[in-house]
Amino acid sequence: MIHEIVITQFRKMLGNLLTILDEGEAYATHKGFDVDVLLRARLAPDQFDLIRQIQIACDNAKMAAARLSGTEAKVPVHPDTEKTLAEVKARIESTVRYLGEFAPTDFAVAAERRISQPRWKEKSLSGTEFVVQYALPNFYFHVTTAYAILRHNGVPVGKKHYLGELPFKE
Amino acid sequence: MIHEIVITQFRKMLGNLLTILDEGEAYATHKGFDVDVLLRARLAPDQFDLIRQIQIACDNAKMAAARLSGTEAKVPVHPDTEKTLAEVKARIESTVRYLGEFAPTDFAVAAERRISQPRWKEKSLSGTEFVVQYALPNFYFHVTTAYAILRHNGVPVGKKHYLGELPFKE
């Protein structure tokens, strides 16, 4: 299930985020204000703005795939310099492409891997703990907060934009 | 992994939500306003308020456990009548207790089960699709939005309150 979560679903949610940003752009155009206002918007003065929420969501997805597949040394670097909507969208698209390079077999031993990151020093989680208790809540935190910033500023998005299509069977 | 997500982790996140609500109550007391102001707060006039966000998060967790274990017929009913902080906390605690009644074996065939719900008519998802593409994004959407409503209103909560403790090994 790790591949479904970290690759298939995170890619899908990042795609949904692109749609949500397009709605933000259309709203700014319709209302006649600069879309940068949305990119710099935040829900609290000491919480990250929309650009930073999206950068972190992208990093959550990218680093989860890299760490769980044991390919952290080869992960592409994103210096967090995005300032415009086009740059923010390119960052998301770059992350979606990167995730698309993984196959289910890359995560064959992911559940049992010990996962760490620099600020955890020598401490680690199992792959399953990392996905369930860290990667998932973090990724959805930043995607939902990005959505909430736009929603709070009047962008007409709804739960369907956030969830995307579901693979129903009749 | 379904048991870890839907039982262990959803219970943990609901416990974190109780802590976050306690911070909201302490903030209201400190500032001298009625905590009901927070319970009725929302990020947009046509988005649900804090009470409704919490009710839905609880229902997402409860119904995911019930549907994935094939015990929907026995699920406890919550009529969504909560009005006070004490009632909202009791709703969360009731959901945490309910989730605590499940064992990993209850989800032995969950991944392959066909999952539906009344408003999907006859359409269905596999258990894995339901968890990954529906239950997870929905649950975290409502928990994060609840957090965001409080954060937006000045309650001093941070990512640590949201994530809770991680089971690190040295």
CA Rg value for chain A: 17
Write out pLDDT tens, residues B117-167. Answer: 999 999 999 999 999 999 999 999 999 999 999 999 999 999 999 999 999
Measured between CB atoms, does A8 come within 8 Å of chain B? yes
> Quick check: A128 and B4 CB within 8 A?
yes
Question: Is the pLDDT assigned to residue A163 strictly greater than 90?
Answer: yes
In this complex, the residue of B1, B120, B129 whose CB is nearest that of residue A167 is B129
A169 within some domain: no
Sign of CA dihedral B141, B145, B146, B151: positive
| A25: CATH | 1.20.120.450
Percentage with pLDDT > 70 across chain B: 100
Report pLDDT for B170: 85
Sign of CA dihedral A92, A94, A100, A104: negative
Q: Which domain holds residue A80?
A: 2-163
Question: Six-digit token pair at B97?
Answer: 């207790």
Residue pair A85/A25 in contact by the 8 Å Cβ criterion: yes
Residue pair A8/A16 in contact by the 8 Å Cβ criterion: no
Cα–Cα distance between B123 and A123 in angstroms, integer? 44
B168 within some domain: no
What domain count does chain A have?
Answer: 1
> Quick check: A145 and B141 CB within 8 A?
no
Please identify among residues 66-105 of chain B the ones whose CB lies closer than 8 Å to any CB of chain A. Answer: none
Question: Is the pLDDT assigned to residue A170 strictly greater than 90?
Answer: no
What average pLDDT does the segment B89-116 reach?
97
Write out pLDDT tens, residues B108-118. Answer: 999 999 999 99
Beta strands in chain A (DSSP E): 114-115, 125-126
> Quick check: B131 and A1 CB within 8 A?
yes
Question: Six-digit token pair at B56?
Answer: 């839905």
Phi first, then psi: give them for residue B67, nearest 5 degrees: -70, -40
Cα–Cα distance between B75 and B101 in angstroms, integer? 11
Q: How far off is chain A from B77, nearest CA to CA, in Å? A: 24
Residues of B in contact with A129 (CB under 8 A): 166-167
Cα–Cα distance between B149 and B132 in angstroms, integer? 25
Closest C-alpha to B57, from B99, B111, B86: B99
> Quick check: B159 and A141 CB within 8 A?
yes
A117 within some domain: yes
Residues of A in contact with B131 (CB under 8 A): 1
Residues of B in contact with A140 (CB under 8 A): 136-137, 140-141, 144
Element (H, E) at B72: none
Residue pair B82/B95 in contact by the 8 Å Cβ criterion: no
A170 within some domain: no
Helix (H, G, I), strand (E, B) or coil at B169: strand
> Quick check: B132 and A4 CB within 8 A?
yes
Closest C-alpha to B59, from B14, B20, B124: B14
B131 within some domain: yes
> Quick check: B5 and A123 CB within 8 A?
no
In this complex, the residue of A125, A132, A137 whose CB is nearest that of residue B168 is A125
Element (H, E) at B126: strand B125-126
Q: Mark B69-97 as b/e (b = at least 16 C-beta within 10 Å).
A: beeeeeeeeeeeebeebeebbebbeebbe
Percentage with pLDDT > 90 across chain B: 98
What average pLDDT does the segment A26-42 reach?
98
Average pLDDT, chain A: 97
Closest C-alpha to B164, from A93, A136, A80, A128: A136
DSSP B115: E
In this complex, the residue of A111, A123, A144 whose CB is nearest that of residue B168 is A123
Question: Is the pLDDT assigned to residue B81 strictly greater than 90?
Answer: yes
Cα–Cα distance between A10 and A109 in angstroms, integer? 20
Measured between CB atoms, does A138 come within 8 Å of chain B? yes
B72 within some domain: yes
Measured between CB atoms, does A33 come within 8 Å of chain B? no
Question: Six-digit token pair at A17?
Answer: 């985020």
Residues of B in contact with A138 (CB under 8 A): 159, 163
Question: Six-digit token pair at B9?
Answer: 């982790």
Q: What is the DSSP string of A104-133?
A: GGGGTTGGGSEE--GGGTT-BEEHHHIIII
In this complex, the residue of B111, B124, B140 whose CB is nearest that of residue A168 is B124
> Quick check: A8 and B122 CB within 8 A?
no
Cα–Cα distance between A170 and B5 in angstroms, integer? 27
Question: Six-digit token pair at B149?
Answer: 């409503």
Measured between CB atoms, does A5 come within 8 Å of chain B? yes
Measured between CB atoms, does A148 come within 8 Å of chain B? yes
Cα–Cα distance between A94 and A86 in angstroms, integer? 12
In this complex, the residue of A129, A136, A141 whose CB is nearest that of residue B162 is A141
